[in-house]
Amino acid sequence: MHLHVASAYSLRYGVAPPAALARRAAELGMETLAVTDRDGLYGAVRHVRACGEAGIGAVVGADLGPFGPEGGRAVVLAAGRAGWRSLCRLVTAAHEAGERGRPVVDRELVGAHAEGLVVLLGPASDVGRAIAARRPDEAARRLAAWRETAETVIEIVNHHDAGDGHRAARMLALARGAGVPAVLTNAVRYLEPADHPVAQVLDVTRRLVPLDRRHLDDRTGHAYLKSVPEMRRVAELSCGPDRDEASALLAATRRLSERCVLDPGRDLGMDRAHLPEIEGDACARLAARCAEGMAGRGLERSRAAADRLASELGVIARKGLAAYFLTVADAAALIRARGIRCAIRGSGAGSLVNHLLGIGDLDPLRHGLVMERFLADSREGLPDIDLDVESARRLEAYEALFDRFGAGSTACVSMMETYRARSAIRDVGNAIGLPPQEIDAIAKAFPHIRASQIGAALDDLPELRQSNLAKGRLEVLFRIAERLDGLPRHIAMHPCGVLLSNATLRDRTPLERSAAGFPMSQFDKADVEAMGLLKLDVIGVRMQSAMAHAVAEAARVSGEEIDLEAVPRDDPATFALIRTSRTLGCFQIESPGQRELIGRLQPRDLDDLVIDISLFRPGPVASDMVTPFLDARGGRREPDYAHPDLVPVLRESLGVVIFHEQVLRVLDVMTGCGLSRAEAARRALGDERGQAAVGAWFRDRALARGYGEAAVERVWRTLTAFGAFGFCKAHAASFALPTYQSAWLKRHHTAAFYAGVLTHDPGMYPKRVILGDARHFGVPILPLDVNRSAVDWHAEPVSAGGTTGIRVALSEVRGITDAEADRIVAGRPYGSLTDFWRRARVSRPIAERLVLAGAFDALYAAPEVPRRDLLCQVGALDRVTARPGRGVAAGQLPLGYEDGDEDGDGGGALPGLETGPAERIPAGGLPPMTPAEVVEAELDILGLDVSRHVLSFYDGLLAALGVVRAADLPDRPAGSEVLVAGVKVATQTPAVRSGQRVIFATLDDATGPIDLAFFESVQDRCAATVFGSWLMVVRGRVRHAGARAVSVTAAACWDLATLNEEWRRGGTDAVRTAMAWTGGSQGRPVGRRIVHPTGFATSPYADIGHAGPAVKRPPAARLWHASGGSSGPTRP
């Protein structure tokens, strides 16, 4: 019967999630429970569902404020369908009236949406604040104003803080005197008293102040979900000796709570779908569109296609989803009409209807895909169609949808960013007053894990054990940070979800503005699906942008117009490239594991790519299907089928279960259940209870159909290991197409391909690795140039009819704004640095970075002017130039030769640098930058070593140590010990069959990538270096996989910069001494294995971001003791 409860979805205020609150209320014997989150309905849907599961009535409201000039907050409850509709619209209006994240509300706004609403005026309201200030007349006046606005109730709260009891008694007296009902609440923020410290941390974090009593909303620890007896005692304290009055207060509270219980179906509309309106008969229109598609796809004479279409249309009609498919088809067409690349992904590619409507380009009949994995009679809720679009134009795709379907019927989906280890440590560290630098160092020491794993990680992870963080005085920080685990921290726009509904959308979900300016539902993807709203995932895919950029560059340079959807999908040269495993930059197949698998699989066609993408998933790994498939594929064993009846189902994968669709077909063949029931069984394999039920059903049905017990058990073992973790073939097929297209571009339009990849950065590797790969493919790297570089990377012929190179983009300059880059391009050509300074109007730091990165080298090539001289000239120009709005200091001459005034005389200054009489810089006064300084400047400014590879500066040391280069590794025998070195470009800890945490790292040594594996046995001595170093030397043994795929199983590693210092001081002997290893710990398991119902074990630290900074750009620390120089003081 609690009517004022903030769940964890009251951001940085509430502590308990809705499910925990509902369970506790049910345990305490309560029949109803409200959730009234602050400033929104963020937790409302979860609360309604949780109460349904707990068997109690759900009351929903919102805690809104501040209210007008008087300030204060009020709780607004919804009664019935009208109340829910009004509450959604009120919350939306409050957010529209204020700035983003700061709603504004007043009594008039509540009055405009008063139907079905009940306003609770408690201690935080304007009435309560007047009572606390001992202004009863003002309190009565404000109460009267509220009664004229909406149905009003006085809320009595007593947290036993100073003055709470007297205030509660006076508010109760005010209610009785005015004839206004009063109810008792506890303004709940957390589940139990032990959660009080977490609420205190949230209070100061929300206010960005240190932890101190004066900054706390709750100082007594009484804002927890109290039991009915506890609430009765609160009532008696508030009402005094009159027990009848206390009983009346509790009875009024019960009556209001019962009246405000919402029915999920009747009041919220959760029992049906709310689709966009379609004129006429939606089913007839869908059938007509599909008939047109049959002709357009050349399938009008196919009996198989006709039968499949009839089956799919039957399912769609029975589920009432014709409008859904028509809407998604319109959305895809709208996006493509704007010239945005758009492709279907996921199980929706298995639907022939989607293919005929033009939503997807893959023919499900050609690839053996099934509809039931996407939509079946046995599947509840709306199907899920995902559209991949160019990431750079995703928001443009959103605009197309909003324009077409209207802002009143369209909204983005939201998502909650929750506390994880790093964010929790940062907020708690700030709360307890640690220095910012110390907080940053502590947070970055942890990988990207859940906050609840902080304590375990300190003991489990060797890199953290060696940090000694657990031995410091940080126990309180870590303990409180763990308690923040999973609590919502702030709301954000979901990266792809868009709601397409009808005019009732704002009756069903409250909206607020996203950071991008789009209306955004306060519900996340699970909530909107529960509410029956159509969510279309419009996924921004960087590779789609990269390919669009590459196609545009190829057309610009060569004049060739490329239609990627029309290129032959059996190009021998493309598959020859793929089989070399030289697939850096290609979609889906550039990771170390994929390059190894490609080398072993040797794909010959698109179907092989589908298999490759599906094999590189946990399911086939867990069920040990990768090796048997590759053995059968390589002719090392015959395909093995558990029963002859399964040969048609598994022939394409040589007897091995690879796809979800094969699971469905195996279940259908052996039980005769049909694909729809088989899909329901497959979904149930994900949990232990479902697996047991399906297992009993499968055995009974299969044995009854005459299959032997041995065959049944063998098939069941495979299904349980695979079914919950496998991959959908339709999803793999939709990925295989852009995988092939990206490889085709790399093979046939290499420079344009690299320009696209470097511009949109779609893969896992830093751009400097892609740059190195481009060099290996013979693509010249053209330096930054103010007269030639575009905003983005572009292809540029080096000579007429000769090789095409790629030019470094202006956007790579650290800190440059879009406006500055656009002005540079618009003002070209430039005749001098002074000309550039006057017309491009960039900031001084950007001009300095352009100089240091060599952007003016071509302008001053003959005679050559050192970059340091140019850098000084930037300072001189800044000091003497009168910028717009900046003015000229008294007595200072402006640089001032306006456009068209060419009479200035440099008077012995650098050629082309007319500084005027105010300041002249003589040429040649400073030494040129050394190669090391040039590369350091490139790394610092561009994040790229353009002129030469950074490892080349260590060639002497590496030669002395006998380091083997990546290009030579394939020629080394398997098992031989080698020493390798390079720049760390990637680390991963994917799930592996053994359940270990295996660290996979990749080094770049200028001749190619070196893939490394660090098993748990070596992580005690290696993990800290792997995650903490950028330049590494590694000792290990060569491992061959396939014709050219090679990796190194690491045994030890060292920081290259540290070894280089030893070499400078003591030569090779000193380095070998530093590298000496005499044995020591063999390591221990990293964390307790997580064993899934299928028997598949994973490490708790698998598939997480690594500790330390990201490796996409070089570290901020200098690599050498060198300086690019200074342009002088900022003022004359």
- The pLDDT of residue 469 is above 90: no
Is 254 within the bounds of a domain? Answer: yes
Please count the CA atoms within 13 angstroms of the CA of 363 that sit on its side-chain side: 14
CATH number for position 114: 3.20.20.140
pLDDT in tens, 1004-1022: 999 999 999 999 999 999 9
Stretch 944-962: mean pLDDT, rounded?
94
- The pLDDT of residue 622 is above 90: no
Least confident piece of the model among 205-219, 293-307, 587-601, 737-751: 205-219
**From CA 809, how far away is CA 793, in angstroms rounded?**
5
**From CA 414, how far away is CA 495, in angstroms rounded?**
8
- The pLDDT of residue 291 is above 90: yes
Q: What is the mean pLDDT of the chain?
A: 89
CATH number for position 1059: 2.40.50.140
Is 4 within the bounds of a domain? Answer: no
Asked if residues 975 and 1011 have their Cβ atoms less than 8 Å apart, the reply is: no
- The pLDDT of residue 2 is above 60: yes
**376 in the Ramachandran plot: left (φ > 0), alpha (ψ -120 to 50) or beta?**
beta
Please report the pLDDT score of residue 1111 as a whole number. 54
Is 397 within the bounds of a domain? Answer: no
Is 1068 within the bounds of a domain? Answer: yes
- The pLDDT of residue 1129 is above 70: no
Q: Are residues 851 and 991 in the same domain?
A: no
What band does 891 get if pLDDT is binned at 50, 70 and 90? very low
Please report the pLDDT score of residue 826 as a whole number. 96
Task: With both helix axes pointing from N to C terminus, report the angle between 844-852 and 867-880 in degrees, rounded to the nearest 10.
Answer: 170
- Residue 985 structural domain: 950-1098
Residue located via tokens 């159509």: 534
Count other C-beta atoms under 10 Å from residue 737's C-beta.
23
Please report the pLDDT score of residue 1085 as a whole number. 82
Name the token pair of 1006.
């200028």
Please report the pLDDT score of residue 1106 as a whole number. 67
Q: Are residues 183 and 81 in the same domain?
A: yes
Residue located via tokens 């060639």: 955
Asked if residues 573 and 750 have their Cβ atoms less than 8 Å apart, the reply is: no
Classify strands 488-500 and 1031-1041 as parallel, antiparallel or unpaired: unpaired
pLDDT in tens, 431-444: 888 999 999 999 99
DSSP class of 1110: -
% of the chain residues with pLDDT over 90? 75
Q: Are residues 972 and 906 in the same domain?
A: no
Higher pLDDT, 333 or 466: 333
Q: Are residues 252 and 192 in the same domain?
A: yes
Asked if residues 67 and 129 have their Cβ atoms less than 8 Å apart, the reply is: no
Spell out the residues 6+ positions from residue 253 whose beta carbon is closer than 8 angstroms to its own: 1, 3, 183, 184, 185
DSSP H/E element including 686 = none
What band does 505 get if pLDDT is binned at 50, 70 and 90? very high
Final residue before a domain boundary, out of 208, 241, 259: 259
Asked if residues 112 and 71 have their Cβ atoms less than 8 Å apart, the reply is: no
Spell out the residues 6+ positions from residue 5 whose beta carbon is closer than 8 angstroms to its own: 14, 21, 33, 34, 35, 36, 188, 225
What band does 8 get if pLDDT is binned at 50, 70 and 90? very high
**From CA 234, how far away is CA 1, in angstroms rounded?**
14
Q: Are residues 196 and 55 in the same domain?
A: yes
Q: Are residues 930 and 1043 in the same domain?
A: no
Please report the pLDDT score of residue 21 as a whole number. 98
Count other C-beta atoms under 10 Å from residue 692's C-beta.
12
The amino acid sitting at 748 is: H
pLDDT in tens, 529-560: 999 999 999 999 999 999 999 999 999 999 99
Stretch 678-698: mean pLDDT, rounded?
89
- The pLDDT of residue 1096 is above 90: no
Higher pLDDT, 997 or 991: 997
Cα 539 to Cα 335, 359, 388, 545, distances in angstroms = 12, 14, 5, 12
pLDDT in tens, 306-348: 999 999 999 999 999 999 999 999 999 999 999 999 999 989 9
**From CA 263, how far away is CA 338, in angstroms rounded?**
43
What band does 619 get if pLDDT is binned at 50, 70 and 90? low
Name the token pair of 52.
């349904």
Please report the pLDDT score of residue 1082 as a whole number. 63
Name the token pair of 524.
């996340």
**From CA 275, how far away is CA 383, in angstroms rounded?**
12
Asked if residues 844 and 878 have their Cβ atoms less than 8 Å apart, the reply is: yes
At CA 971, angle to CA 970 and CA 973, rounded to 5? 95
**From CA 15, how far away is CA 12, in angstroms rounded?**
8
Q: Are residues 656 and 686 in the same domain?
A: yes
**From CA 635, how far away is CA 630, in angstroms rounded?**
8
Q: Are residues 888 and 963 in the same domain?
A: no
Stretch 759-773: mean pLDDT, rounded?
91
Residue located via tokens 């299928």: 1094
DSSP class of 2: B
Count other C-beta atoms under 10 Å from residue 394's C-beta.
22
Q: Identify the bridge partners of residue 1055 per DSSP, sorted by sequence position.
A: 1032
**From CA 945, how far away is CA 938, in angstroms rounded?**
6
Name the token pair of 909.
């200054």
Task: With both helix axes pointing from N to C terminus, report the angle between 44-54 and 18-27 in degrees, rounded to the nearest 10.
Answer: 30
Classify strands 32-38 and 57-64 as parallel, antiparallel or unpaired: parallel
Is 756 within the bounds of a domain? Answer: no
Per-residue HEC secondary structure of 959-1000 comes to: HHHCCCCHHHHHHCCCCCEEEEEEEEEEEECCCCCCCCCCEE
Q: Are residues 76 and 225 in the same domain?
A: yes
Please report the pLDDT score of residue 355 as a whole number. 96
**From CA 1037, how far away is CA 672, in angstroms rounded?**
51
Asked if residues 796 and 807 have their Cβ atoms less than 8 Å apart, the reply is: yes
**From CA 601, how far away is CA 590, in angstroms rounded?**
15
Q: Is 812 helix (H, G, I), strand (E, B) or coil?
A: helix
**From CA 901, how far away is CA 920, in angstroms rounded?**
19
Final residue before a domain boundary, out of 942, 977, 1007: 942
Please report the pLDDT score of residue 173 as a whole number. 94
What is the full DSSP assignment across 149-180?
Answer: HSEEEEEE---S-TTHHHHHHHHHHHHHHHT-
**From CA 664, how far away is CA 683, in angstroms rounded?**
10
Residue located via tokens 């009875």: 251
At CA 346, angle to CA 342 and CA 350, rounded to 5? 100
- The pLDDT of residue 984 is above 50: yes
Least confident piece of the model among 192-201, 449-458, 713-722, 1098-1107: 1098-1107
Is 1004 within the bounds of a domain? Answer: yes
Name the token pair of 310.
């009839």
- The pLDDT of residue 915 is above 50: no
CATH number for position 455: 1.10.10.1600
Q: Are residues 928 and 954 in the same domain?
A: no
Nearest of 235, 225, 188 to residue 54 by alpha carbon: 225
Q: Are residues 38 and 168 in the same domain?
A: yes
Residue burial 139-164, b: 16+ Cβ < 10 Å; e: rest? bbebbeebeebbbbbbbbbbbeeeeb
Q: How many domains does the chain have?
A: 5
Residue located via tokens 């047991």: 692
Name the token pair of 40.
């929104």
Is 300 within the bounds of a domain? Answer: no
The amino acid sitting at 456 is: A
Higher pLDDT, 751 or 892: 751
Write phi, then psi, for 282 (nearest 5 degrees).
-60, -40
Q: Record the pTM.
A: 0.88
Please report the pLDDT score of residue 1081 as a whole number. 56
Exposed / middle / buried, residue 6 (Cβ in 10 Å: 0-12, 13-18, 19+): buried
* Bond preceding residue 863 cis, omega within 30 of 0: yes
**From CA 986, how far away is CA 1004, in angstroms rounded?**
9
Is 63 within the bounds of a domain? Answer: yes
- The pLDDT of residue 359 is above 80: yes
Please report the pLDDT score of residue 723 as a whole number. 57
Nearest of 523, 526, 497, 496 to residue 509 by alpha carbon: 523
Least confident piece of the model among 517-521, 574-578, 615-619: 615-619
What band does 923 get if pLDDT is binned at 50, 70 and 90? low
Q: Is 108 helix (H, G, I), strand (E, B) or coil?
A: helix
Q: Are residues 35 and 172 in the same domain?
A: yes
Stretch 921-930: mean pLDDT, rounded?
73
Write phi, then psi, for 535 (nearest 5 degrees).
-110, 120
Stretch 896-905: mean pLDDT, rounded?
37
Higher pLDDT, 609 or 1100: 609
Final residue before a domain boundary, out of 897, 913, 942: 942
Please report the pLDDT score of residue 290 as a whole number. 97
